Structure 1
Amino acid sequence: MTAHNGLRLLPWTTLDGNPCYLSTDDANSHLSRLADSTEATQLNQAAGLVSHALEVLNREEMGPEELRDLSTELVGALRDALRVATSRGHRLSPLLPYAQGGDDKPRLPAAAFG
């Protein structure tokens, strides 16, 4: 993935599987809100799938087809979560300059924490 270039990586791809990007300064635009909502849905689905996977893996018996289906779902959820993390990471402000007066720890702006 390339460095942040002002474009937002969207949580979906083209029909060919290529990434989609959004160029806007308006975080409240219709497409920005749709992307936020889609990201939240993907992360919630991933969390639910993790719980389901733990239940399935704790069973005494599990067939190979059930394990294959679960693995496919987990890979899809992980792919979506990585795309969300990449997109959100690109939108974080760069680290603030080191504080004056001997404190050499990098600082993030408060906006980075929601």
Structure 2
Amino acid sequence: MTAPNELRLLPWSSSDGKPCYLNTDDKTGYMSRLADNIEAVQLGTAAELLEHASDTLNDQDTDPEDMRLLAKELTGSLRDVLRIATSRGHLLAVSEPHHS
């Protein structure tokens, strides 16, 4: 079984907004693959949103409501990407051998 410090932070939260973790040694199991797929979708969405943001910011005729919506979407996407980076960084830290 996975040690407590090796839990995987999942790319979604509980219904009350708390982080969810996966406790498994099977990196090819259903939940691991589901998390990998959701992370891939979230990263793809972030890339598309970044391109959209660049276009929107370059458009002098963008109205304030569109900018507010863009900021809201970017905030959500940044939250997703940060969660992925945190999860992957933790996985790297626990999988690398410690050198003394």
Larger RCO: 1 or 2 (CA < 8 Å, sep 6+): 2
Cα distance in 1 for partners of 2:79, 2:46 equals 10
Cα distance in 2 for partners of 1:95, 1:68 equals 45
Cα distance in 2 for partners of 1:24, 1:11 equals 16
Partner of 1:5: 5
Matched pairs, number = 95
Describe the SS at the equivalent of 2:38: helix
Following TM superposition, the consecutive aligned residue runs of length 4 or more in structure 1 with deviations greater than 4 angstroms are none
Tell me how far 1:6 sits from its aligned partner.
Answer: 1.2
Q: 1:28 to 1:57 in 2, by over 3 A?
A: same
TM-score, length basis structure 2: 0.90
Percent of residue pairs bearing the same amino acid type: 55
The structure having more radius of gyration, on CA atoms, is 1
Tell me how far 1:94 sits from its aligned partner.
Answer: 3.3
Residue identity matched to 1:36 = D
Cα distance in 1 for partners of 2:97, 2:31 equals 27
Aligned-residue RMSD, C-alpha: 1.4
1:17-32 matched pairs, under 5 angstroms: 17-32=17-32
Partner of 1:82: 82
1:1-114 matched pairs, under 5 angstroms: 5-92=5-92, 93-94=95-96, 96-97=98-99
CA deviations over 1:8-48 (Å, ceiling 9, x no partner): 00000011110000000000010000000000100000000
Which structure 1 segments of 5+ residues have no match?
Answer: 99-114
Cα distance in 2 for partners of 1:45, 1:62 equals 21
